[in-house]
Amino acid sequence: MKIGLFIPCYIDQFYPKAAVAALELLEKMGLEVYFPKNQTCCGQPMANSGFEHLTTGCNRLFIENFSSFDYIVCPSGSCVMHLKEHLHLSGHDQQAKAIREKLYELTEFLTDILEINELSASFPFKVGLHQSCHGQRGLKLSQMTELVAPAFSKPEKLLAMVKGLELIPLNRKDECCGFGGTFCVTEEAVSVKMGKDRLSDHLRNGAQYITATDLSCLMHLEGILRRQKSSLKIIHIAEILNHQPL
Amino acid sequence: MKAMEHAQAAEAFIRDEARTDWHDETLWFVRQKRDLAAQGLPEWEQLRDWASGIKNHTLSNLSQYLALFEENALKNGIKVHWAMDAVEHNQIIHQIIKEGKICRMVKSKSMLTEECHLNAYLAAQGIEVIDTDLGERIVQLRKEAPSHIVLPAIHLKKEDVSDTFNEFLDTEKGNNDPQYLTESARQHLRDYFVGAELAITGVNFAIAETGGFVVCTNEGNADMGAHAANIHIACMGIEKLIPKAEHLGVFLRLLARSATGQPITTYSSHFHRPRPGQQMHLVIVDNGRSRQLGRADFRNSLKCIRCAACFNTCPVYRRSGGHSYHTAVAGPIGSILNPNIDMKANADLPFASTLCGSCSNVCPVKIDIHEQLYKWRQVLVKEGHVPSSKKTGMAAMTLVLSKPTLYRLAGKMGRVALKYAPFVVNNSLNPWYKQRDMPQAPEESFREWYQKNRK
Amino acid sequence: MSSKNRILQATAENQPTLTQLPFIDFDSLIQYPDPVAAFEMVLKKIGGEIIHFKNEEEILKSISKADQDGEFVLNTFRQQEGSLAPFKNASAVELAHLNRVYLCGALGVAENGAIWLDENAMVNRLLPFITQHLVLILNAKNIVATMNHAYQNIRVDESGFGTFIAGPSKTADIEQSLVIGAHGPRSLTVYLFHN
């Protein structure tokens, strides 16, 4: 099984450890994983700002880089959701469609395609799981509190396989952190207030780490934490799932 | 009216952080009550499906249903008026007031009359309308606009209401007891009800098959006014129609549960014919709705039944307050309705969202609100309603992100700048940095690591 | 062109292709093992009160025994048409001091505690709203499970006006604090009989 690893631009530049963890985790499952060199970005920053018409270049690059794989896996629910909904390129409809169908966010790939039941990871800390909206409501990685429907959670299922990890409850299980792409600067006041409120929920419930399927949310939360000189830390879920006993 | 863009108004709102927390908690509590009410019905999601299907069908046959509704309403003895826009709506009501030589009139909650700025229009003609919904009366006395379509005074604390009532209703200074304040308003408004010559109400649902309409309240104020006055004017947008009375069986199960978590409003009143000697008028208003019906991406916003569940769940609304949306209908639904009414004035609203999607999930008629917010952004950019600085920035970003070599170079420079000269990025011109630090720059990017360690 | 025609024309031009109405499957609706108990529970939750009677005679006895203390009370239950005639067209001014009204409800709804009554049962449309206290008399046999069922059993345009009433009037417009007795009745009591 040939896997193309899609590492979103800001993870590549600012959080390489999460990308390494995602790669190693997939390799441990015995998969052939490749990182196509010329990949850049899914185009979401432009599209969510109203400039979807400028994303043709990104879409072309994505199709060129990822058409040849059996599956494409990415440690970001938000980028995956954007591509699943908006990856189109005139003259390449079939390729774009094929990519949209074989593209998976990391945790859903582990639970739905690989159907893994155990992990060798250990992470003896109290962890709060932040539900990134695009992964949760967009890709349905876990049940949403608004709906009257049975509960499930793909990320929680995986975290439950990690030795020593204690998942803390939250008062608001799936409220947005306020990142929202360019929203984080165009609506700076609301964005930061939302972030602060999410953090207090995790702190109140005793979290030592906040994890998520999206680093964009975590980058925003980390920005506030560092400004507040808090000891609470952020960590991408791939790093926990790949965390070895010391 | 718009004094500031949403972002600026929100920033001003948040400056009082304790009050923002209170606003957020209060509305979150309403969201939780809604959740409990929804969970009480195993068929909840099925009801949402049906409601959405009934509304979609109605919109797909709207001209026929409007004609049928009018025909039946006329048979019932209701006088039907049609208004293309807000001005015509206001003129029609003004005309009825003039013809009846009316001096004393009351109005129950109608977001349409807010949308049309009826009170201001009549005030300019020297006519005073008394709002009778408690929340609306409070904001009317304070010369403010409602900040929420179901809870008009939710931006106010009981101390504010107490001060207002002390000033206008002569209540005891410093008595903040909601029971006492509500009782005072009851006494104050009872005189207006009893003396009312004309009553204006909104319409929650209009039934094509029977030519009647339904008005829902908890306070009983719509009924008090409509049954006391000799003239009743009900105002409705063209999208309020439903085909048959039996469909109310779906909508009335969803409306109050979504709005406040109640199983139903206290009163769900069905008006079909005026009582003997009474005049019953119905004003059917377009005001841009037929245009919205023609926008394939946005037409299903017309399914809205004005429950405000999307307000209560919206993390942005809860922390920015209704007035920051500078329109009669605030919140997520307002942000997809208002650009249709005035694209330029409301171009900021679709951007006042993180696109988290919670609004679409609570919507009882399954409007894809967050997807429409995304689509409005595309339209607004194409129509030239975003600042040119944003356009330049986006063009630069696009260039970098569509050229792998440029991207690698820019990434490196970005990280170098972060690492060796944080002040270059960390300055007050970058809104990120006002209350947040930048991420710590790593030694190398993932692609540099991969180059060395895999290949 | 008139505004009516302009609106109808624009609507006709802009409405999408006709879609079908959904089929409402009553089998998927909530079922209550004991609809009367469910009705009572919800009614109390929304601020209403309930008194059980064996039959209509008991209700009649209770109403006539009630100490009316010179208050303005109006009972429509088992009354001669003629005795109520003066109230039919009474104005709000004349009814402003009504203290208590007894009206007959046609149907109750278990899921939300609502009771349907139409103009024929009200005598005057103002009565259920302007009175300080409202008593609705209901036959337990006439309680249905949901609003979907309710609309199967009533005709909304049988008279010129009809309403579902669920509990006393209320508001939470001041800081979300629930206050019973907004503009309508301060209390709602259901007299439920079981014969």
How far is it, in rounded angstroms, from Cα B333 to Cα B293? 15
**Number of inter-chain CB pairs under 8 A, B vs C:** 275
H helix and E strand count, chain B: 23, 10
Torsion sign over Cα B300, B303, B307, B309: negative
Question: How confident is the model at residue B120, as a pLDDT?
Answer: 96
Shortest Cα distance from B17 to chain C (angstroms)? Answer: 17
How far is it, in rounded angstroms, from Cα B95 to Cα B77? 19
Residue of A nearest to B312 (CA): A146
H helix and E strand count, chain C: 8, 11
Query: Which of A74, A78, A83, A193 best tests the B interface by mutation, with the highest count of B CBs <10 A?
Result: A193
Helix ranges (DSSP H) in B248-352: 248-259, 289-293, 309-313, 315-320, 331-341
**Chain B contact set for C150 (CB, 8 A):** 249
Domain ranges of chain B: 41-287, 392-453
Is B41-287 a CATH 3.40.50.10420 domain? yes
Q: Do chains C and B touch (3 or more CB pairs under 8 A)?
A: yes
How far is it, in rounded angstroms, from Cα A76 to Cα A132? 9
Render pLDDT for B247-278 as a digit per residue (tens, 0 to 9).
Answer: 999 999 999 999 999 999 999 999 999 999 99
Instruction: Tell if the CB–CB gap between C10 and B275 is shorter than 8 Å.
Output: no
**Chain C contact set for B66 (CB, 8 A):** 7-8, 11
How far is it, in rounded angstroms, from Cα A3 to Cα C58? 79
What letter would DSSP give residue B444?
Answer: S
Q: Distance between alpha carbon B345 and the CA centroid of its chain, in Å? A: 16
Instruction: Tell if the CB–CB gap between B82 and C4 is shorter than 8 Å.
Output: yes
Residue bearing the bigger pLDDT, B81 or B399: B81
How confident is the prediction for chain B on average, in pLDDT? 94
| Cβ-nearest to A149 among B45, B434, B450 | B45
Please name the residues between 384 and 413 in chain B that touch chain A, using a CB distance below 8 Å.
386, 390-391, 394-395, 397-398, 400-404, 407, 411
Q: Which of B189-193, B321-325, B428-432 is predicted with the least confidence, judged by mean pLDDT?
A: B428-432
Question: How confident is the model at residue B410, as a pLDDT?
Answer: 76
Render pLDDT for B325-382 as a digit per residue (tens, 0 to 9).
Answer: 999 999 999 999 999 999 999 999 999 999 999 999 999 999 999 999 999 999 999 9
| Secondary structure, 3-state, chain A | CEEEECCCHHHHHHCHHHHHHHHHHHHHCCCEEECCCCCCCCCHHHHHCCCHHHCHHHHHHHHHHHCCCCEEEECCHHHHHHHHHHCCCCCCHHHHHHHHHHEEEHHHHHHHHCCCCCCCCECCCEEEECCCHHHHHHCCCECCCCCCCCCCEHHHHHHCCCECCEECCCCCCCCCCCCCCCHHHHCHHHHHHHHHHHHHHHHHCCCCEEEECCHHHHHHHHHHHHHCCCCCEEEEHHHHHCCCCC
Q: Strand, helix or coil at B276?
A: coil
| Cβ-nearest to A133 among B44, B357, B395 | B357
Question: How confident is the model at residue B96, as a pLDDT?
Answer: 98
Question: How confident is the model at residue C83, as a pLDDT?
Answer: 87
Residues 6+ apart with CB under 8 A from C132: C98, C99, C100, C185, C186, C187
Question: How confident is the model at residue C117, as a pLDDT?
Answer: 97
Instruction: Tell if the CB–CB gap between B353 and A183 is shorter than 8 Å.
Output: yes
How far is it, in rounded angstroms, from Cα A2 to Cα A57? 25
**Chain B contact set for A9 (CB, 8 A):** 401, 407, 411
Does pLDDT of B417 surpass 60?
no
Question: How confident is the model at residue A144, as a pLDDT?
Answer: 97
Q: Give strand pairing partners of C22.
A: none
**Under CATH, domain C32-193 is a member of which superfamily?**
NagB/RpiA/CoA transferase-like (3.40.50.10420)
Torsion sign over Cα C10, C11, C12, C15: positive
Please report which helix (H) or strand (E) contains residue C63, including its range. Answer: helix C56-65
How far is it, in rounded angstroms, from Cα B303 to Cα B239? 7
Domain ranges of chain C: 32-193
How far is it, in rounded angstroms, from Cα C112 to Cα B268? 12
Residues 6+ apart with CB under 8 A from C86: none
Instruction: Tell if the CB–CB gap between A14 and B442 is shorter than 8 Å.
Output: yes
| Cβ-nearest to A226 among B394, B437, B450 | B437
Please name the residues between 251 and 310 in chain B that touch chain C, using a CB distance below 8 Å.
252-253, 260, 262-277, 284, 286, 290-291, 293-294, 296, 299
Residue of B nearest to C148 (CA): B249
Shortest Cα distance from B81 to chain C (angstroms)? Answer: 8
Q: Which of A7, A41, A36 lies closest to B400 in space, CA to CA?
A: A41
| Cβ-nearest to B10 among A49, A148, A187 | A187
Structure confidence at residue A245 as a pLDDT band (50, 70, 90): confident
Chains adjacent to A (≥3 CB pairs closer than 8 angstroms): B
Tokens 């063209």: give the residue.
B238
Domains of chain A listed by start with CATH number: 2-113 (3.40.50), 126-241 (3.40.50)
**Chain B contact set for A191 (CB, 8 A):** 354
Render pLDDT for B134-186 as a digit per residue (tens, 0 to 9).
Answer: 999 999 999 999 999 999 999 999 999 999 999 999 999 999 999 999 999 99
Q: In this structure, how many other beta carbons lie within 10 angstroms of the beta carbon of residue B237?
A: 25
How far is it, in rounded angstroms, from Cα B51 to Cα C148? 12
Render pLDDT for A193-235 as a digit per residue (tens, 0 to 9).
Answer: 999 999 999 999 999 999 999 999 999 999 999 999 999 999 9
How far is it, in rounded angstroms, from Cα B306 to Cα A237? 39
DSSP strand pairing (C170-171 vs C179-180): antiparallel
List, as one string, the DSSP characters of B326-356. Answer: -SSS-HHHHHHHHHHH-TTTTTTGGGS----
Q: Give strand pairing partners of A234.
A: A210
Tokens 């009630």: give the residue.
C66
Question: How confident is the model at residue B343, as a pLDDT?
Answer: 96
Please report which helix (H) or strand (E) contains residue B168, including its range. Answer: helix B158-168
Structure confidence at residue B103 as a pLDDT band (50, 70, 90): very high
Q: Distance between alpha carbon B228 and the CA centroid of its chain, in Å? A: 29
Question: How confident is the model at residue B423, as a pLDDT?
Answer: 43
**Number of inter-chain CB pairs under 8 A, A vs B:** 211
How far is it, in rounded angstroms, from Cα B362 to Cα B344? 29
Question: How confident is the model at residue B422, as a pLDDT?
Answer: 46
- What letter represents residue B120's amino acid? A
Does pLDDT of A246 surpass 50?
yes
- Average the pLDDT over A177-192 and give the result: 95
Are B219 and C180 in contact by the 8 Å Cβ rule? The answer is: no
- Asked if the ipTM is above 0.90, the reply is yes
How confident is the prediction for chain A on average, in pLDDT? 96
Q: Does A138 touch chain B (CB under 8 A)?
A: yes
Instruction: Tell if the CB–CB gap between C111 and B263 is shorter than 8 Å.
Output: yes
Q: Per-residue confidence of chain C (195 residues) as pLDDT tens digits?
A: 899 999 999 999 999 999 999 999 999 999 999 999 999 999 999 999 999 999 999 999 999 887 667 788 899 998 887 889 889 989 999 999 999 999 999 999 999 999 999 999 999 999 999 999 999 999 999 999 999 999 999 999 999 999 999 999 999 999 999 999 999 999 999 999 997
Does pLDDT of B117 surpass 80?
yes
